[in-house]
Amino acid sequence: FTDAHTPSALCCPTRYGLMTGRYPWRRGQTTWATPGAPLLIEPNVPALPAALHAAGYRTGCVGKWHLGLGTPQQRVDFNQEITSGPLDVGFDYFFGDAANRFGLYIENRRALGCDPANPFRIVDGRLQGGNRADLMKNEENARVLTERAVGFIEQHAAQPFFLYFAPNNVHTPLTPNARFKNASQCGVYGDFIAELDWSVGEVLSALDRLKVADNTLVVFTSDNGGRYEAEALKAGHRCNGPFSGQKGDVWEGGHRVPFLARWPGRIKAGAESPALACLTDLMATLAAAANAPLPKGAGPDSLNLLPVLTGETTASPRDTLVMQTGPAPVRSMRVFASSRFDLQGRTDDLWAIRQGRWKLIFGQGAGITTSPARAGKFYGLAELGHRHSDYTPDGQLKPDAPPGQLYDLAADPAETTNLHAQQPELVGRLTEVFERVKQRERASP
């Protein structure tokens, strides 16, 4: 798919959407969750791995979890058995980390490296204690996770299996193994991508070696758009191609992501589809591929893309999509919000709705990351070379810029020309569509 999107421009909310087929803002999840946050998937919300498990699949999760552990009443204690985590939403096996290489590995319900003489503790958001010899070494993380992913495939190759493999590459910190040093011409960021390429290759090779590739649907995608890194950008690598913005932004670069699928004999090699897709659609799509019935009410924002993938049709069942980026503070308590909330009056989130060729953003700017001027490690508009009708050449918002943004993505995929002031009727119609999407609990074609 060349027009695939995450429901959020941030990692954690997107993962919630992928696992539940539900827009993350429906539960109030609009930003990151800390490693000590409780499980974000509510007990009454059906999850994809549970549906596949019920259909007879062995289900495994390897890598970055980042969907919380424990409950609001009983926070996770890494020295004890871990409850309310991946195994409680349908996974039979888990090996990985709580959130973005949080110092320790968890296997099923136990953290590796527990030391009664030096128990784990979290101080100012950082992990302390434990047996250091068993803890995570960032430069070895990709190798360790890849070996576990391949091991899961080898163990279950003779039966239906579902593997959710979530590598930490290419999230910061950028720590490729030494053997990938100078593997690219784009600095350490490029080397980290090269390591990811190796990791994916190991998984695909395992499927081929075990002779299960022809009966396995593989999807490769990302939980948000890329973030520009200095060395890679200097070398000419623009991770988001022609699109404006980057991770954290509601502009296309923040949420338009790669979506590659392989299924020999079912998906034509080299085929491309311009159909609109969202990662929430993976729930309905994978369930259909596995002939796994979904419980009533499951995946309210998930539509089945399997007929598009297999070439039975070229038309996407989706014509409308809501994108969002949340507030920047990592320790926002919004992760503990109730299952629903009112979008009215909120000023810290930036929202957009896409329908057909049109995209309406309810506010000005990109969102969290791309600002008029450089902010710390984040490049500004002018440095990135973005040209925009609402901004001066040095990246400053013009005083007469309209309060919202409207783009014709068919004619202007880079979002350079804001048509908000010229198309008031269209703005009004899209606003009404947005209100209807907020209020309903079921997606429709």
* CB burial readout 322-338, b (16+ within 10 A) else e: bbbbbbeeeebebbeee
CB-based burial of residue 340 (10 Å sphere; 0-12 exposed, 13-18 middle, 19+ buried)? exposed
Q: Is 66 labeled as catalytic in the residue annotation?
A: yes
Whether residue 239 lies in the annotated active site: no
Take residue 348 and report the two structure tokens written for it. Answer: 């810290």
98/51 Cα distance (integer angstroms): 23
CA 165 to chain centre: 12
Cβ atoms within 10 Å, residue 343 = 14
CB-CB contact of 24 with 11 (8 Å): no
- Which listed residue (5, 11, 156, 237) is catalytic? 11
CB 264 within 8 A of CB 284: no
Short-list 357, 259, 257, 265, CA closest to 311: 265
Q: H helices of 365-422, where?
A: 381-384
CA distance linking residue 164 with residue 49, whole number of Å: 9
The one catalytic residue in 12, 53, 61, 66 is: 66
Residue positions annotated with a catalytic role: 11, 66
